[in-house]
Structure 1
Amino acid sequence: MLPNDTLLTVWAPRMLAVLRIMTALLFIAHGSQKLLDFPPLGRPLPEAMTLSWFAGVLELVGGILVLLGLFTRPVAFILAGEMAFAYFMGHAPRNFFPVLNGGDAAILFCFIFLYLSVAGPGAWALDNARRSRSVAA
């Protein structure tokens, strides 16, 4: 059996990567639904350059970048801001309580992305490959 600190040292970056990957997959689904109507909602796609279109682009492209672990910190920071904006513009006016205004996902995404912007991507990220390549050069 590994000592407890070794176990944490080995698994903490891996679990951070799992959190990053699963969050990104869920986030990509929101963007693909807005921009590609997949999974289908049956409503019209947003017109280019509208608020909903920008949200979809951030969610789809930003989600893919976070999934790959590429430019994770700045992208996650931008996405945290998008989710804060989405909460205060779209959810908070409906009701004070997140469970009643449908904003719980926006709050969770906001704080997970804020955490990723500080903690970094964890294991299995292209950021790590870029960093090791720039150190070797």
Structure 2
Amino acid sequence: MFDRLSSYAPQALGVLRIVTALLFIAHGTQKLFGFPVPAMGPTEGLMLVAGLLEVFGGLAVLVGFFSRPVAFVLSGMMAVAYFLAHFPSSVFPQANGGDAAVLFCFVFLYLVFAGPGAWAVNKK
């Protein structure tokens, strides 16, 4: 049974890449445009850079354009975001609101090693 499921691994990886990118883009549009909900604070400085990376990096990951290098940058961005914005208030991601940052960081890191999966513009 698992051998049969394994044959769908490229498609499952593609779905993971696409869904992650859509969620990531939503965080960027929240910061840049106040959509789908307003941002928590002003979008300037590092928050502006984060919003731009989330939208444009998320779009690149979504379509599978240079997914590995873009995912590497986004993974690092999420690690920095966690340690700058969340970690100072608590060690525990559930307590400091950083669980999404941790999850994005490691999903993007996985994409660096696994590649984009199915339905990517390029396989790099």
Alignment RMSD (CA, Å): 1.7
Work out the CA distance in 1 between the residues paired with 2:40 and 2:101: 21
The answer for unaligned runs of 5 or more in structure 1 is 132-137
The answer for unaligned runs of 5 or more in structure 2 is none
TM-score under structure 1 length normalisation: 0.84
Would the aligned equivalents of 1:37 and 1:45 in 2 still touch at CA under 8 Å?
A: no
The letter of the residue matching 1:89 is: L
Work out the CA distance in 2 between the residues paired with 1:101 and 1:44: 16
What is the correspondence of 1:50-61 to structure 2 with a 5 Å cutoff? 50-61=45-56
Could you give the per-residue CA deviations for residues 77-136 of structure 1, whole angstroms, max 9, x where no partner exists? 0000000000000000011111000000000000000000111000000014xx7xxxxx
Work out the CA distance in 1 between the residues paired with 2:39 and 2:55: 19
TM-score under structure 2 length normalisation: 0.93
- 1:8 is matched with which residue? 6
Change (3 A) 1:12 1:51: same
**2:68 maps to 1:46:** no
Would the aligned equivalents of 2:32 and 2:52 in 1 still touch at CA under 8 Å?
A: yes
**2:31 maps to 1:34:** yes
Change (3 A) 1:43 1:95: closer
- 2:115 is matched with which residue? 120
State percent identity of aligned pairs.
58
